[in-house]
Amino acid sequence: MNVHVHNNKRMQSDLACCPAADAGRYRHINSCQHIYIRRLDVDHELESNKENAIAFYRTAYSGDPAKAVEMYVGSEYIQHNPLVGDGKQAFIEYFDKMASEYPGKEIEFVRAVAEGELVALHTHQTWPGNEEYITMDFFRFDSNGKIVEHWDSIQEVPGESKNGNPMY
């Protein structure tokens, strides 16, 4: 057995059944079950979806929801927030209204987690008047890497905490 390192991932292969691995050609899957290739593809897709979810949210939140929809949303947009209508146009109208009513709001992306077709974002938002909120947003992506569904929850950061731990 030889050990190969590719993108900081370790892989063992039996060179007798997989000479391509020894030659440095990692973009294949054969009977040796070198499924780590698929894992690298999945990891790249998950990272891409996280980056796109953040870019989508940042673009809409910063006052350009039409651009966010154009760049990051698929053929449909299913909305589960009861304060926002279903579909792309309702999303654009909601965020346009938010931008005009709450100029100067800020957002920090605390963490992003991806699994399968879902991305979860944990954010810390500061609104005019120094109101702070924590949000959890979940986005479902289609097979083309576009957002097609959204769920969220928001909570105001209280003045004091019984446990002393931050919410973000």
Cβ neighbours of residue 99 closer than 8 Å, sequence gap 6 or more:
63, 65
Does 24 share its domain with 97?
no
- Residues in the chain, pLDDT under 70: 1-41
- What pLDDT does residue 40 have? 56
Structure confidence by residue, pLDDT tens digits, 48-90: 999 999 999 999 999 999 999 999 999 999 999 999 999 999 9
Per-residue pLDDT, 8: 40
Asked if residue 145 and residue 67 are part of one domain, the reply reads yes
Number of domains in the chain: 2
Closest to 60 in 3D by CA, of 50, 51, 49, 70: 70
Q: Say whether both 99 and 143 belong to one domain.
A: yes
pLDDT for residue 168: 86
Rounded Cα gap, residues 67 and 49, in angstroms: 17
Domain-located, residue 162? no
Q: What is the CATH number of the domain that holds 124?
A: 3.10.450.50
Question: Given this model, what pLDDT does residue 38 score?
Answer: 54
